[in-house]
Amino acid sequence: MPKLKIILAYDGTDYSGWQIQPAAHGKTIQGVVTSALKKLTGEEISLVAAGRTDAGVHARGQVISFNTASRIPVERWPLALNSVLPEDIVALKAEKVHEDFHARYDARRKQYRYTIYNERFPDVFSRRYSWQIPHPLDRDAMAKATKYFIGYHDFRSFCASGSSVKNFNRYVEQSKISYRGNFIYFDITANGFLYHMVRNIVGTLVEVGRQHIKPENIAEILAAKCRQKAGPTAPPQGLCLEKVDY
């Protein structure tokens, strides 16, 4: 059966994350996309995603893969799928892939962006897609702090406790801050991410911006391999899965 790889964008605001949950926990992206695929093809399709985004987290470049016997030509897939998806999930691109392709296991690199809105009052238009911080933030200190994450590190201090992973080492290729007006963007690219890793890094960077933690302290926090040493977990709505490379 042919295998497809599809790029999805979604507004995660109204979802309990990617992964199918018991119904009481609310609708999920995976659940809604699976139903849409069923409507389109009549098949019970089992979906794999590159990143299992949490409740309230968004995606501009989520990648999914699945097998289908459908005879819809590959170039028509995005339009066809969008016709059965709700408006907060959009298929952007489809391609045929090798039968061994796996959206999660084959991902070599993922890029996330976290958006902070640094103003006294919330912005009604970006409230669903950013973390509003009313306090002044020292942007230079934050930029300096981002550099400590680059490279091969044990990120245990930035992993949610209770995670079942054994290997906490990840390679961070890019970790940088940029600005536009009152918006602060944190972009991070790595070969993989631990549970809540980006949000824990951002929570810590904001502590640096508020001058509660010094940029130099990041090295010690990493070395401590202890979640309690780092800052709090930033809220989900600022986070977006931008891109996955294979």
Q: Any idea which residues carry the catalytic annotation?
A: 54
Site track for its own copies across 128-167, x = CB under 8 A? -x--------------------------------------
Beta-bridge mates of residue 117: 132, 183
Whether the Cβ atoms of residue 207 and residue 183 lie closer than 8 Å to each other: no
Whether the Cβ atoms of residue 144 and residue 204 lie closer than 8 Å to each other: no
Q: Does 121 bind its own copies (CB under 8 A)?
A: yes
Shortest distance in whole angstroms from residue 30 CB to its own copies: 16
The nearer residue to its own copies, 18 or 148, going by C-beta atoms, is 18
The nearer residue to its own copies, 85 or 143, going by C-beta atoms, is 85
Given candidates 19, 68, 70, 82, which one binds its own copies under the rule CB under 8 A? 82
Inter-axis angle of helices 197-209 and 139-146, nearest 10: 140
- Region from 15-23, 41-49, 123-131, 168-176 binding its own copies, contact rule CB under 8 A: 123-131
Residue 141 φ then ψ, to 5°: -65, -40
CA distance 14 to 17: 9
Given candidates 40, 89, 94, 103, which one binds its own copies under the rule CB under 8 A? 89
Strand 109-117 to 131-132 pairing: parallel
- 85: tokens are 């998806």
* Binding residues for its own copies (CB under 8 A): 9-11, 58, 60, 78, 82, 87-92, 121-125, 127, 129
